[in-house]
């Protein structure tokens, strides 16, 4: 359903990895190859896939529908309830990311933590995006897995956000989450 990040590269600031810089300095803690594919504008990508798209005419983006953490999601037809192209800007390479969905929501890291760390979710397995967030949170906040970020949550929220894409406008029992962090797609994964 989606392309898994098979060659995840984890670079903590202390590791001295090329192109990562320091924590909080605008460089990603985590990179992935989730969006390594290139897609033409309006490519009609399968649901769950996110690809890099450069050279999109402003008139083709559609309407900006939500903005957070330096990213803006554009909907090519916001009055529609069927699957259609969406674009996201705010990436360090200057290109957009394109994906297909019927409904898109954006959630901050505090909302993610509030839901993920509920006692009632104790036996719910972690998704790829949950695990990636735990790595980012541990490096940025110094918090253990399963524990909230703490005092740095507002700062982390300025550079990290979740986008949730649904295949239908209602009655969706599955979705895809994209974790965006410091100008890159850190992870993507389907949920059920």
Banded pLDDT at 171 (limits 50, 70, 90): confident
**Residue 131 reports pLDDT greater than 70:** yes
Is a pLDDT exceeding 70 seen at residue 1?
no
The closest of 69, 89, 91, 84 to 160, measured between CA atoms, is 69
If DSSP codes are grouped into helix, strand and coil, which group holds residue 177? strand
Provide the total of helices (H) and of strands (E) in the chain, helices listed first: 3, 11
Question: Both tokens of residue 77?
Answer: 């037809």
CB atoms within 10 A of CB 76: 17
What angle separates helix 109-116 from helix 128-141, to the nearest 10 degrees?
110
Flag whether pLDDT at 76 surpasses 70. Answer: yes
Q: Select the more confidently predicted residue: 159 or 191.
A: 159
Q: Which two tokens stand for residue 151?
A: 């005092």
End-to-end CA distance of the chain: 12
Single pTM value for the model:
0.83
d(CA 145, CA 137): 8
Please state whether beta strands 184-191 and 30-31 pair in parallel, antiparallel, or not at all (unpaired): unpaired
Are 29 and 182 in contact by the 8 Å Cβ rule? The answer is yes
Contact 137, 146 (CB under 8 A): no
What are the tens digits of pLDDT across the range 3-38?
Answer: 333 222 222 222 222 222 233 446 787 667 888 889
């Amino acid at each position: 359903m989606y392309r898994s990040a098979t060659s995840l590269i984890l670079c903590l600031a202390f590791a001295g990895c090329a192109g990562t810089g320091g924590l909080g300095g605008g460089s990603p803690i985590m990179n992935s190859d989730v969006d390594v594919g290139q897609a033409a504008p309006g490519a009609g990508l399968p649901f769950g896939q996110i690809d890099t798209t450069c050279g999109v005419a402003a008139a083709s983006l559609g309407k900006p529908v939500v903005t957070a953490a330096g990213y803006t999601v554009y909907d090519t037809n916001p009055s529609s309830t069927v699957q259609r192209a969406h674009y996201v800007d705010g990436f360090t390479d200057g290109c957009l990311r394109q994906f297909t969905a019927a409904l898109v929501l954006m959630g901050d890291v505090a909302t993610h933590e509030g839901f993920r760390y509920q006692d009632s979710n104790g036996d719910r397995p972690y998704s790829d995006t949950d695990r990636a967030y735990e790595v980012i949170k541990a490096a940025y906040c110094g918090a253990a897995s399963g524990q909230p970020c703490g005092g740095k949550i507002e700062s982390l929220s300025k550079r990290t956000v979740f986008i949730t894409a649904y295949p239908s406008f209602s009655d969706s029992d599955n979705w895809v989450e994209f974790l965006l962090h410091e100008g890159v797609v850190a992870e993507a994964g389907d949920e059920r």
